[in-house]
Amino acid sequence: MAKGENSYKCKLCFKVYASESGLRKHTKRHSGENPYKCELCPKAFVYKSILSLHMSTHTGEKRYKCELCLKAFASGDYLKIHTRIHTGEKPFICEFCSKGFICSRSLNNHLKIHTEDKPYKCCFCHKAFRSRAQLQEHIRTHTKERPYMCNLCDKAFTSGRNLKTHLRTHTREKPFICSLCCEAFAYGESLKRHLRMHSVVMPYKCSMCGVVFHESAELKLHLRSHTREQKRQCELCGKEFQTLRDLKSHFRIHTQERPFTCEICSKAFKDSMSLKLHIRTHAGEKPYKCKLCDEAYASSSGLSNHSKNHTGQKPYKCSLCPKAFINGPRLKEHSKTHTGEKPYECNLCSTAFANKGSLICHIRIHTGEEPYKCEFCSKAFRERITFSNHMYSHTGQKPYKCSLCDKAFVVRCALQLHIRAHTGEKPFKCNLCEKAFPSGQRLKSHKMCHTGEKPFKCNLCNTAFAHKNSLRCHIRIHTGEKPYTCRTCFKAFRHPSALRCHMKTHVKEKSFKCNFCENTFLDIHKLSIHTRMHTGEKPYKCTLCDKAFSDELQLNIHTKVHTNEGKPHKCNLCDRTFSASFSLKRHMRTHTEEKPYKCDVCCRAFANGNGLTVHLRTHSGEKPYKCKLCHREFARWNSLNIHNRTHTGEKPYNCSLCHKAFAYLNSLNIHARTHTEQKPYNCSLCHKGFISGCALKRHFITHTG
């Protein structure tokens, strides 16, 4: 102990005190003497005042309350320091960097950064620390001591600070508030990271390549790419990871361990970040907002991926095809389409999948689980994306707009498909017939025409379908369900495409005009089918009998002739069967005598729309179907077809008894009566019978002269 002028200096650490008593108290720190012992726990203290403060942790007594936030403290000194948080006062200034602090203790700890003074050494591993508290916390990593226990979940922690932070997961307390956007955070570090989003500051710079980062952890990871620091390897699958934390998280995939459980729905997760993101789905919290389109996301990675949609940036390119992606996981998933890799197998039906998400959704087919429930209509869904798209049907929101025609869509993939209708792009090609399609789904559907595969079977009538959606629509025939309703006339439909076609009947304008005749159409699809009547093009060929058709629907109906399906649609009044449902519907009108299609000129009614269309040509004189050889014109396409046989000499109708061939079906029917001796046409004057109406007419002239 050395006394200087007006001061007392410690001989061991050269610290200076104003009084002898102050120096004497300080000396006890070096000697390790802790004379003041707590009667309730094994702790001992250098000073009596610190023991008094410690006792309040047992009694819970906090006499000093903050007038601004009502927070209570065990001592007046603690309250004084706390008040400076509200006032912004920082009286303790660092002489090296001018940084301010609310208490001397914080300043002393900070000064050690400049002096690099680490006086507190660990007796186990000789690691040095700037403060005694840091050393004590570190020693617990060796002793495995966790004295701070949570009274809500029995979790234990090495420090009171960690316990305090943990308690916020129970209380949902978020004391750190952003002064710019009022967003609240549970941790001060989270607020600091958030503030960088406003300032676009990236304070962590790589000294080797100049790349900047928001967080020190990102910089540390990046530096390993320069230093080639040894990666952590998984013992079971050999996969390598940059950090021990990532390796631990990965290892839980093998062990199936999910230690992080949601308190609201009991769902378990393998890492804390996944749990944190999941909790936001309950709270509806989406803190990451896009500055360009107001879209919000639960995670920063979601926002980052979304931002690339505005910039058009797709930095991850496939080495096997020209496709590019906005992030690495999407590229990795796409690569499996080239390799055919499907590592995720269902243990119930052995179906394999390229990604884990698809397997999880598939398992729900077996379990019947539909976790995504609509709060408006009580409908439930297996997949989040289907649920999200469904929600737009209530809100009417269509966020994806076409820049070429102002049409809007509910989902991005629908917009991408629509844009291809403008550009004519068809990137998906069939390797069997070289036909191209605008989407992978349409190509997949088309390939079933070649394979004849129909994996989707109806449980009620055993009818099989190539597509899941076709089965879904078919089941509605049995249930009578018609979920798609017209908002104008309230007519209901089984399929959305039927509703779309119907909606066009309310719109009078037919903007698609035929180049060969004056006919106009509501959509381009109907125009293209109509144009084939003029050109004679029949692109849809039957793989079983070489017959060709102008549209896909006719081919599908024809294919049933070859399959066991035959004519599945049966009339319950006359037992007649039909290959298509619309044919049965049209036939039913012969029983009910319903004629819903009326002519505006002469009020004549027809059972079907085609009959009305042909009839209207008798008023207009229109004959749109022209023979290429003799230029004769016809009102009906069928009439032109029959006429063409006079040029080609084609006789497709053969008599089964004498093998005589005829150009027309009516001629074959008349000829057949010569074999059966059937004479259905009788003269009203002499009652003589004839095999055809034409023969009866010729006979009638003999009576009338």
Q: Is residue 268 predicted with pLDDT exceeding 70?
A: yes
- The tokens describing 590, both together, are 């012969």
- Residue 122 pLDDT exceeds 80: yes
What single-letter DSSP state applies at residue 677?
Answer: T
Q: Residue 197 has what pLDDT? A: 66
Residue 570, φ and ψ in degrees, nearest 5: -110, 135
Confidence (pLDDT) at 705: 66
Please report which residue ranges of 515-580 form alpha helices under DSSP H. Answer: 524-535, 552-562
**Alpha-carbon span 545 to 547, nearest angstrom:** 6
Strand partners, 177: 184
Closest among 497, 502, 607, 506 to 552, alpha carbons compared = 497
Which pLDDT band, with edges at 50, 70 and 90, does 199 fall under? low
User: Which of 355, 387, 363, 361 lies closest to 374, judged by CA?
Assistant: 387
CB-based contacts of 511, cutoff 8 Å, min separation 6? 520, 522
pLDDT above 80 for 667: yes
Contacts of 555 (CB under 8 A, 6+ apart): 540, 541, 542, 549
> For a pLDDT cut of 70, what percent of the chain falls above it?
94
Confidence at residue 609, expressed as pLDDT on a 0 to 100 scale: 80
Q: Lowest mean pLDDT of 1-15, 114-128, 258-272, 353-367, name the range.
A: 1-15
Mean pLDDT of 340-369: 84
- The CATH code of domain 653-704 reads 3.30.160.60
Report the distance separating Cα 620 and Cα 636, nearest Å. 14
Model confidence at 697: pLDDT above 80? yes
pLDDT, average across residues 5-34: 75
Give the pLDDT confidence of 614-664 residue by residue, as tens digits. 888 888 888 878 888 888 888 887 888 888 888 888 888 889 888 889 888
What does pLDDT average to over the chain? 80
How far apart CA 664 and CA 658 sit, in angstroms, is: 16
Residue 67's pLDDT is 87
Of residues 243 and 423, more confidently modeled: 423
Residues of the chain with CATH 3.30.160.60: 118-173, 653-704
Helices marked H in 233-373 — which ranges? Answer: 244-255, 272-283, 300-311, 328-339, 356-367
User: Which amino acid makes up residue 58?
Assistant: H
Question: pLDDT tens digit string along 57-110?
Answer: 788 788 888 888 788 888 888 888 888 888 888 889 988 888 888 888 888 878
In 3D space, the residue among 108, 82, 251, 263 whose CA is nearest the CA of residue 170 turns out to be 263
Lookup: tokens for 86: 């509200």
The reported pLDDT for the residue numbered 227 is 64
pLDDT digits (tens, 9 = 90+) for 672-691: 888 988 888 888 888 889 88
Q: What is the pLDDT of residue 303?
A: 78
Amino acid at 336: K
Q: What is the mean pLDDT of residues 571-586?
A: 79
Question: Which of 494, 497, 502, 533 minimizes the C-alpha distance to 516?
Answer: 533
Contacts 24+ apart (CB under 8 A), 483-492: none
Q: Which residue stretches of 32-75 are H helix?
A: 48-59
698: its two tokens: 């010729």
Mean pLDDT of 499-522: 74
Task: Say what the pTM is.
Answer: 0.36
pLDDT digits (tens, 9 = 90+) for 530-570: 888 778 788 888 877 778 888 877 787 777 667 655 577 78
Taking the domain 118-173, which CATH number applies?
A: 3.30.160.60
Q: Which two tokens mark 454?
A: 């129909």
Give 681's strand partners: 690
Q: Please, which pLDDT band fits residue 28 given cuts at 50, 70 and 90?
A: confident
Per-residue pLDDT of 382-392, as tens digits, reads 888 888 778 87
Q: Please state the length of the chain.
A: 705
Task: Return d(Cα 443, Cα 464) in angstroms, integer.
Answer: 20
Task: Please give the Cα distance from 3 to 18 (Å, whole number).
Answer: 10
Given this model, what pLDDT does residue 228 score? 55
pLDDT of 181 higher than 80 = no
Please state the φ and ψ torsions of residue 659, each to the nearest 5 degrees: 65, 20
Instruction: Give me the residues paired with residue 617 across strands.
Output: none
Q: How far are the Cα atoms of 330, 331, 448 from residue 337, in angstroms, in the given order?
A: 11, 10, 18
pLDDT band at residue 479 using 50, 70 and 90 as cut-offs: confident
Alpha-carbon distances, residue 42 vs 20, 123, 157, 644 (angstroms): 30, 21, 18, 110
Mean pLDDT of 239-266: 78
Question: Quick one: which of 408, 441, 409, 404 has its CA closest to 424?
Answer: 404
Q: What is the pLDDT of residue 478?
A: 83
Beta bridge partners of 605: 598
Q: Residues 298-339: pLDDT tens digits?
A: 777 777 777 777 777 777 888 888 788 877 778 888 888 788
DSSP summary character for residue 214: S
